[in-house]
Chain A
Amino acid sequence: MTRVLLIAEHDGAELNLSTAKSMSCASQIGETDVAVFSNGADSLATSAATLAGAARVLHASRPENAKPLAAVLAPQIAKLAADYTHVLAPSTTFGKDVLPRVAALLGAPQVSDIMSVESERSYKRPIYAGNVIVQVSVPDNCTVCGTVRIASFKAAATDGNAEITAVSPDADLPAHTRYIDLQAQVSERPDLQSAMRVVSGGRGVGSAENFEIIYGLADKLSAAVGASRAAVDAGYVPNDMQIGQTGKIIAPDLYIAVGISGAIQHVTGIKDAGTIVAINKDAEAPIFALADFGLVGDLFSIVPDLEKKLG
Chain B
Amino acid sequence: MKILVCVKRVIDYNVRVQINRQGDGVITDGVKMSVNPFDEIAVEEALQIRDRGDADEIVAVSIGTSASQQQLRTALAMGADRAILVESDDEIQPLAAARVFHKLVEKEQPGLVFLGKQAIDDDSNQTGQMLAALWQRPQATSASSFELNGETARVTREVDAGLEIIDIDLPAVVTVDLRLNEPRFVKMPDIMKAKRKPLETIALSELGIDAPPALETKNYEPPPQRQAGIMVETVDELIAALRDRGVL
Q: Give A residues with C-beta under 8 Å from B.
A: 11, 69-71, 74, 92-94, 96-105, 107-113, 126-139, 141-142, 174, 176-185, 193, 197, 221, 229, 232-233, 238-240, 245-246, 248, 253-254, 264-265, 271, 274-277, 288-296, 302, 305-306, 309-310
B226 touches A134 (CB 8 A): no
Between B17, B133, B134, the greatest number of chain A beta carbons within 10 A of the residue's beta carbon is seen for B133
Q: Known: A127-B123, A130-B223, A134-B220. Contact between A104 and B129, CB under 8 A?
A: yes
CA–CA, A191 and B95, complex, Å: 34
- Given A132-B26, A293-B230, 20 more pairs with CB closer than 8 A: A11-B161, A93-B142, A94-B160, A107-B212, A112-B124, A129-B123, A133-B221, A134-B219, A135-B219, A136-B217, A137-B218, A176-B169, A178-B166, A178-B167, A180-B166, A181-B164, A183-B163, A246-B177, A275-B247, A295-B231
Bound form: Cα–Cα A88–B118 in Å: 19
Query: Given the interface contacts A293-B238, A294-B229, A309-B239, does A137 sit within 8 Å of B166 by beta carbon?
Result: no
When distances are taken between beta carbons in the complex, the residues of chain B under 8 Å from A184 are 161-162
**Given A92-B160, A134-B220, A309 contacting B235 (CB threshold 8 A):** yes
B154, CB-defined interface residue at 8 Å: yes
Contact with A along B172-210 (1 / 0, CB 8 A): 100001110000000000000000000000000000000
Q: Given A142-B213, A276-B229, A302-B235, check contact A100 B158 (CB 8 Å).
A: no
Instruction: Give the number of residues in B that approach A within 8 Å (Cβ atoms).
Output: 84
Q: Is B1 an interface residue (CB 8 A)?
A: no
CB <8 Å contact, B232 and A295: yes
Q: In the complex, are the beta carbons of B118 and A246 less than 8 A apart?
A: yes
- 8 A-B pairs, CB-CB below 8 angstroms? A70-B139, A104-B129, A126-B123, A182-B162, A182-B163, A246-B117, A275-B245, A288-B229
Q: Is the CB of B16 within 8 A of A253?
A: no
B165 CB-CB contact with A under 8 Å:
yes
Q: Are A110 and B239 in contact (CB under 8 A)?
A: no
**Contact indicator A70/B165 (Cβ below 8 Å):** no
Q: Is the CB of B222 within 8 A of A133?
A: yes
A294 and chain B: residue at smallest CB distance: B231
CB-based nearest B residue for A123: B215
CA distance A134 to B16 in the complex (A): 17
Shortest CB-to-CB span from B151 to chain A, Å, is 10
Closest chain B residue to A177, Cβ basis:
B138
Which of these, A94, A130, A139, contacts B159 with CB under 8 Å? A94
Ranked nearest first, the 4 interchain pairs of A and B with the lowest CB-CB distance are: A100-B129, A104-B133, A104-B130, A292-B229
Residue B122 at the A interface, CB < 8 A?
yes
**Which residues on B sit within 8 Å (CB–CB) of A277?**
238, 242
| Contact, CB under 8 Å: B94 / A109 | yes
In whole angstroms, how far apart are the Cα atoms of A93 and B168 in the complex? 18
**Quick check: B133 and A100 within 8 Å, CB to CB?**
yes
Please measure, in the bound complex, the distance between the C-alpha atom of A135 and the C-alpha atom of B233, giving whole angstroms.
42
Q: Which of B117, B123, B177, B212 contacts A113 (CB under 8 A)?
A: B123
Is B71 part of the contact surface with A, judged by Cβ < 8 Å? no
Q: Distance (Å) between the CB of B86 and the closest chain A CB?
A: 18
A177: B residues at CB distance < 8 A = 138-140, 166-169
Q: How distant is B233 from chain A, measured CB to nearest CB, in Å?
A: 8
- Complex formed: what's the CA distance from A177 to B157 in Å? 13
In the complex where A109-B93, A128-B123, A132-B223 touch, is A240 in contact with B13 (Cβ < 8 A)? no
A309 touching B236 in the complex, CB below 8 Å, given contacts A184-B162, A239-B179: yes
Q: Check if A96 sits within 8 Å of B229, measured CB to CB.
A: no
Is B32 among interface residues, defined by CB-CB distance under 8 A? no
| B126 at the binding interface (Cβ < 8 Å) | yes
CB closest chain-B residue, reference A125: B123
Chain B residue with Cβ nearest A181: B165
Query: Which residues on the B side are within 8 Å of A138 (C-beta)?
Result: 213, 215
- With A and B bound together, what is the CA distance between A293 and B232 in angstroms? 7
Whether A132 and B17, one on each chain, are in contact in the complex, defined by CB atoms closer than 8 angstroms, is yes
Check if B121 is an interface residue, CB within 8 A of chain A: yes
**Counting CB contacts under 8 A, is B76 at the interface?**
no
Return chain B residues, CB-CB under 8 Å to A239. 144, 158, 162-163, 179
Is the pair A240, B161 in contact by a Cβ cutoff of 8 Å? yes
Residues of B with C-beta under 8 A to A126: 123, 223
Task: Chain A residues near B136: list those with CB within 8 A.
Answer: 174
A71 touches B138 (CB 8 A): yes
- Identity of the chain B residue whose Cβ is nearest the Cβ of A75 in the assembled complex: B133
